[in-house]
Amino acid sequence: CKILRCNSEYVAATLHLRGPERGSAFCTALRSYSLCTRRTARTCRGDLAFHSAVHGIEDLMIQHNCSKEGPTAPPRPRPPAPNPPGFESLDICDYERSFLYKHGRPPGFQHCAAFGDPHIRTFHDDFHTCRVEGSWPLLDNDYLFVQATSSPVAKGSNATVTSKLTIIFKNMKECIDQKVYQAELDNVPAAFQDGSVNGGARPGGSSLAIRERIPGRHVEIRAGYIGTTIAVRQAGRQLSFSIRAAEEVAGAFTEEQDLQLCVGGCPRSQRMSRSPRGRGRVPAETARALCREMLPVEDVYFQSCVFDVVTSGDANFTMAAHGALEDARLFLPDAEKLHIFQ
């Protein structure tokens, strides 16, 4: 959707109009603006800025008695610097800056995580422990597709862990080529599947980039063009996923894309209690002592840690819960929601 370009051209064309000639030149600029929006109609159908521009043009044409038929003109050249930043100099691949300019406030953000058994913290701060086996979508919207593949944590166990993550950054014409990132156990690469480390050769390619935090164990992917940051970690024999996404991006999906663990959590039939039952591989008190070293607050992260250590017998699960909590500390827009108690 190139509505920002149409806005930019209209602002540039009308910025310096003065005097008696302003009327006809203004109508010409409006017709040019209208033509530009019509050309982007197919790709901008779901964009609020596009619909706002269409209605705004109609109102201005009525106010200024402009005919819909008549000459259109190319926009005037951009005014020389220094000038206040405006649409004419706005980088459309910088989501936060673009949103601030359009709405006069910074965007809102949401956080989701999947770690351990897996445990899911949804965008709405619900918390579920899942028995999901096989491949399940964490996200499926207009910008991102994230799929987690789970397998049993131990032979004969109902509990599962994430063994593979596939993340698709969908093609965004102005900014990036489609990019696929894939992590598996003992293979957490600091590059996309095609070997690149950014969004490609397009002008906004640098707005998507991978950064290695801990070699082979922790990568961070920043997608500035959609105001989103993703962390992928490996702790022991499981992978974890955390995301900070702009609200507008997290909510950009249709009714058909209804199965997203980050949005709705686990289906009811796939939810598990975090109260260990029967004989575990490690006594519950031992697991509690191990988890308390990494997680002093006995919240859902702590409960999840105890469940995972008891079920798997693997003390590395303390690191998985600790990493998820650290990501939440960084990614959560509201620090008061860091700890969830159930």
CB 143 within 8 A of CB 172: yes
Does some domain include residue 82? no
CB 166 within 8 A of CB 147: yes
118 and 46 in a single domain? The answer is: no
Does some domain include residue 73? no
Reported as a single tens digit per residue, the pLDDT across 17-69 is 766 557 788 888 889 989 988 888 888 877 777 888 888 888 888 888 888 88
Does some domain include residue 289? no
Q: Please say which residue of 46, 64, 82 terminates a domain.
A: 64
33 and 172 in a single domain? The answer is: no
Q: Please say which residue of 64, 84, 116 terminates a domain.
A: 64
Mean local confidence (pLDDT), 96-105: 92
Give residues with Cβ within 8 angstroms of 229, minimum separation 6: 220, 221, 222, 223, 243, 244, 331
Sign of CA pseudo-dihedral 20, 21, 27, 32: negative
Higher pLDDT, 116 or 64: 116
Using pLDDT thresholds of 50, 70 and 90, give the confidence band for residue 99.
Answer: very high
Whether the predicted pLDDT of 134 surpasses 60? yes
Domain that holds residue 58: 2-64
Residue 274: phi and psi, rounded to 5, are -90, 10
pLDDT of residue 278: 54
Distance CA 86, CA 89 (A): 6
| Count of domains for the chain | 2
Whether the predicted pLDDT of 75 surpasses 70? no
pLDDT of residue 304: 94
Mean local confidence (pLDDT), 306-315: 89
What's the mean pLDDT when you consider all of the chain?
A: 87
116 and 190 in a single domain? The answer is: yes
43 and 105 in a single domain? The answer is: no
Does some domain include residue 173? yes
Whether the predicted pLDDT of 332 surpasses 60? yes
60 and 103 in a single domain? The answer is: no
Does some domain include residue 333? no
Distances from the Cα of 98 to the Cαs of 54, 87, 103, 151, 342, in angstroms?
19, 8, 9, 41, 39
Q: Please say which residue of 20, 41, 64 terminates a domain.
A: 64
pLDDT of residue 11: 78
Does some domain include residue 298? no
Reported as a single tens digit per residue, the pLDDT across 266-292 is 989 888 887 755 557 789 999 999 999
What percentage of the chain carries pLDDT values higher than 90? 54
100 and 222 in a single domain? The answer is: yes
177 and 126 in a single domain? The answer is: yes
Does some domain include residue 115? yes
The CATH number of residue 133's host domain is: 3.40.1000.10
223 and 160 in a single domain? The answer is: yes
Q: Which two tokens stand for residue 18?
A: 């003065």
- The mean-pLDDT minimum among 77-91, 131-145, 187-201, 253-267 falls in 77-91
Enter the pTM of the model. Answer: 0.73
46 and 171 in a single domain? The answer is: no
Does some domain include residue 300? no
